[in-house]
Amino acid sequence: MNDRRRFLAQAALSAGALAIPRGWASDPSDPRADAGARVVSTWDFGVGANQAAWKHLSTGASALDAVEQGARWAESELCNPTVGRCGNPDRDGVLTLDASIMDGDGRCGAVAAIEDIDHPISVARLVMEKTPHVMLVGEGAQQFAMAQGFRKRRLLTPEAEQAWREWRARAEYQPQINAERSVRPGNKDNHDTLGMLAIDRNGRLAGACTTSGMAWKMHGRVGDSPIVGAGLYVDNEVGAATASGVGEEMIRNAASFLVVELMRQGRAPADACREAIERVVRKRPEASKSLQVCFLALNRHGEVGAFALHAGFEYAVCDAKKQDVLHASGSIYGGGA
Ligand code: GLY
């Protein structure tokens, strides 16, 4: 975790957190599991996003409103090189953003490869609410956003531009391998999407997913985050799932949909995530050794679970009683995360 993110997570936690036993949220026999509204997010920076969502959830707002607000926090406040306006650009130096939003009734909206527009998650919601479509991409998404009152502004930060210049000076083009040689592609320092899932006091589910995607990707590359069923899936009858990591693997496996369908068959959230990770490994055993894929799931009873390909995946949980960052219950390579 870099210093800024450690600071944000710790500051957020110390502003009211109660320590809770690791893993409680995955235990379906825990009576607190059905205590009501809850929001969960990928990675440690999900603490701040959860708090932004909780402000709304705790006052009776819908899960849909809450996840939009949580994702907006990540897009603007977090200043993370993999989400929103502080994201790293593609190999041509262009910052493109992807986002999706979905509720448990199957309503969904998404934007992909949108440029120069803050808060792609809110554009995604407007796609859902104001158009007959599910996804708008690129220039069309930008035009739609402007027609809805968004202003075009250059988002690329000087830091991201400098990082891109440094990468360009040294890189051969293999973004999945050398986007960051020091860290595994898809891990938290390299395109770690914010995926957020919430259940409101009426038991209704929603999810949001937002990212700048893989640093130094090909111009036009779209990952899993804006693809319903890959980076995000929500169904009030069952639960919700979201993903972080190398999006190509989630798309290949319709992974978030798979996690929800496994829960429909009776799996607990962590078990469903683990089975989906095993599917990723079976499809591409060699590739899976060197890239990260992580799933987070929330079922309709409020139970939470997570699993990753490699150790290190964390997620943030927030409800009326507590907020914390928990480790995924396990990983294929590296065991307990
Ligand atoms: N998971 C985000 C991406 O691959 O773009």
How does DSSP classify residue 266?
T
16 CA to centre of ligand 1 in angstroms? 31
Residue 322's pLDDT is what?
Answer: 86
Residue 173's pLDDT is what?
Answer: 61
Domain boundaries, the chain: 38-333
DSSP-derived 3-state class of residue 128: helix
Radius of gyration of the chain (CA): 18
Strand pairing partners for 136?
111
Per-residue pLDDT, averaged over 39-68, amounts to 95
Strands (E), 104-149: 108-114, 135-137
pLDDT above 70: percentage of residues in the chain = 82
- Comparing 44 with 177, the larger pLDDT belongs to 44
Range from 166-170, 196-200, 240-244, 261-265 carrying the lowest mean pLDDT: 166-170
DSSP-derived 3-state class of residue 255: helix
Does 178 have pLDDT greater than 90? no
pLDDT band of residue 4 (cuts 50, 70, 90) is very low
Does 80 have pLDDT greater than 90? no
Does 279 have pLDDT greater than 90? yes
Please identify, by atom number, the ligand 1 atom nearest to the C-alpha of residue 247: 4
113 CA to centre of ligand 1 in angstroms? 12
Nearest partner of 249 among 278, 271, 216, 209, judged by Cα:
278
Please state which architecture CATH assigns to domain 38-333: 4-Layer Sandwich (3.60)
Residue 185's pLDDT is what?
Answer: 56
pLDDT band of residue 290 (cuts 50, 70, 90) is confident
- Ligand 1 neighbour 213 (Cβ under 6 A): yes
pLDDT band of residue 261 (cuts 50, 70, 90) is very high
Hey, which of 225, 293, 294 would you mutate to test ligand 1's pocket, going by the most ligand atoms within 8 Å of its Cβ? 225
Which positions ≥6 away from 167 have C-beta within 8 Å? 179, 215, 216
Give CA–CA dist 124/226, Å, rounded: 9
Please identify, by atom number, the ligand 1 atom nearest to the C-alpha of residue 222: 5
Does 259 have pLDDT greater than 70? yes
Place of tokens 């995924």: 328
Q: What's the mean per-residue pLDDT of the chain?
A: 86
pTM across the whole model: 0.87
pLDDT band of residue 11 (cuts 50, 70, 90) is very low
Hey, which of 188, 196, 211 would you mutate to test ligand 1's pocket, going by the most ligand atoms within 8 Å of its Cβ? 211
How does DSSP classify residue 35?
S
Pairing, β 194-199 against β 331-333? unpaired
Which positions ≥6 away from 45 have C-beta within 8 Å? 5, 8, 9, 74, 78, 80, 83, 194, 316
- Comparing 2 with 305, the larger pLDDT belongs to 305
DSSP 174-230: -HHHHTTTTS-TTSTTS---EEEEEE-TTS-EEEEEEE--STTPPTT---STTSBTT
Residue 26's pLDDT is what?
Answer: 37
- Ligand 1 neighbour 190 (Cβ under 6 A): no
Q: Does 82 qualify as catalytic in the annotation?
A: no
